[in-house]
Amino acid sequence: MQRTIAIVGAGLGGLTLARVLQAHGVAATIYEAEASATTRTQGGLLDIHAETGQVALRAAGLYDEFLTLVRPGEDAKRVVDRHGTILFDMPADRGSARPEVDRGELRRLLIDSLAPGTIRWGHKLASIRRRVAGGYHLTFAEGSATNADIVIGADGAWSKVRPLLTPAQPRYSGTCFVEIALASGGRNCRASVAAIGSGTLMAVAPGKGIIAHRYPDGRVFGYVALNKPEQWMRSIDFGDPSAGLRQLAVEFDGWSSLLTAFVTESDAPPWLRPIYALPVGLTWDRVPGVTLVGDAAHLMSPFAGEGANLAMYDGADLASKLIEQPDIEVALTAYEERLFPASSDAASRAANNLEIFFGPEAPQSVVTLFDHS
């Protein structure tokens, strides 16, 4: 009899896991807290790595469709100092092994590839407990419940499945992002938009930065970054977005107006994005019938570009282990033996790169990083 598989979370990792399983005739159900696929925006661009994310997409049978989503020419990178002086300018590489795609479009590709009814939207996990008879009992906030033989936590930073395996919790990195954006045309910021170049602009200094990506249609999306206590960041009153953004702009006093315009003229809701990370090298003892993928297993800063790639690779790798190995515990053990060293290496690089971007040697440290990449 086929075992029931519950995947908690419809992020890239959980979706890839379900897709690869289904492609091999193995059923799985995803339980997702959000009401629909369009409940919230999915962020900006992702560079999909040949050795991880693309491997997962090939395993999912979606590589050709993925290629139609690629945004050639948007991987250009420009590093400037606080005066806007260009220190590093790398043109786009149309043959890049790490092409850029829109996160939302990639997620939609994975969602559309699944059998109807695979995702149970509006199912926020409320509790999970191990059953005496084996497997797990899951209850959801809207009142329903289910049992599953195997549970995979793909539910992100604040995973409710993770406590079955480890008491580890994400820790604030000391860096907080605030989303910024300019609508097509950049309102009255054409000079600022032009200063980005054709891809991503990184204006960094010790403890702070402004990062902006320019889309072909003229839209700009990015982040203000500050090394500040989380409580300080949350004290900014974004009830009046313009006033809150002006308060942020004070932290960039003395910077070029071409750069601060991305802050003061932003027309995006200024969402706070504190950067959290799980401890580097996190592992756990084998617990029957349960494991984690993606951020639930190895939340890290975005400065290694590995989070989404590893999440998809986790999903594909775990699916392959479950497909190939009839003994569930052997399959989960093999998966975690690969997961732990790979995620530890990536998390270490992410933490180191975060320091490179906003540490005392910025922006020259960022130039050096790209010069040697």
How would you write 15-45 as a 3-class SS string? HHHHHHHHHCCCCCEEECCCCCCCCCCCCCE
- Across 265-286, average pLDDT: 94
Q: Tell me the backbone φ, ψ of residue 306, rounded to 5 degrees.
A: -105, -20
* Residue 73, pLDDT above cutoff 80: no
Same domain, 127 and 179: no
Q: Which domain holds residue 219?
A: 171-276
Same domain, 150 and 228: no
Q: Would 296 be classed as within a structural domain?
A: yes
Same domain, 318 and 188: no
Residues 91, 137: Cα–Cα separation, whole Å: 52
Same domain, 300 and 328: yes
Q: Would 43 be classed as within a structural domain?
A: yes
pLDDT of residue 43: 65
CATH code (residue 254): 3.30.9.60
Which two tokens mark 154?
């793909």
Q: Would 83 be classed as within a structural domain?
A: no
Q: Please, what is the Cα angle at 178 between 83 and 222, to 5 degrees?
A: 60
Q: Which of 11-20, 95-104, 244-253 has the lowest mean pLDDT?
A: 95-104
Q: Would 251 be classed as within a structural domain?
A: yes
SS3 308: helix
Residues 325, 135: Cα–Cα separation, whole Å: 18
Separation in Å, CA 367 to CA 98, 158, 353, 357, 372: 19, 34, 12, 9, 9
Which two tokens mark 194?
């032009």
Reported as half-sphere exposure (CB side, CA atoms, 13 A), residue 63 has a value of 12
Same domain, 262 and 293: no
pLDDT of residue 1: 45
Q: How many domains does the chain have?
A: 2
Q: Would 252 be classed as within a structural domain?
A: yes
pTM to 2 decimals? Answer: 0.94
pLDDT of residue 116: 96
For 329-356, the pLDDT digits (tens) are 999 999 999 999 999 999 999 999 999 9
Whether 155 and 140 have beta carbons less than 8 Å apart is answered as: no
Q: Would 85 be classed as within a structural domain?
A: no
Same domain, 220 and 331: no
pLDDT of residue 218: 82
pLDDT of residue 187: 60
pLDDT of residue 256: 97
Task: Look over the chain and give the mean of its residue pLDDT values, rounded to a whole number.
Answer: 93
Residues 100, 62: Cα–Cα separation, whole Å: 16
Q: Would 370 be classed as within a structural domain?
A: no
- Across 47-64, average pLDDT: 97
Given 276, 303, 318, the domain boundary residue is 276
Residue that is written with structure tokens 């409710």 in the block = 160
Q: Is 122 left (phi over 0), alpha (psi -120 to 50) or beta?
A: left
The sign of the dihedral angle between the CA atoms of 361, 363, 367, 373 is positive
Same domain, 146 and 285: yes
Residues 8, 315: Cα–Cα separation, whole Å: 12
Same domain, 224 and 305: no
For 183-221, the pLDDT digits (tens) are 865 567 889 999 999 899 999 999 999 999 988 888 899
Whether 176 and 225 have beta carbons less than 8 Å apart is answered as: yes
Same domain, 158 and 226: no
Given 276, 302, 321, the domain boundary residue is 276
SS3 90: strand
Same domain, 15 and 142: yes
Given 251, 276, 301, the domain boundary residue is 276
Q: Would 77 be classed as within a structural domain?
A: no
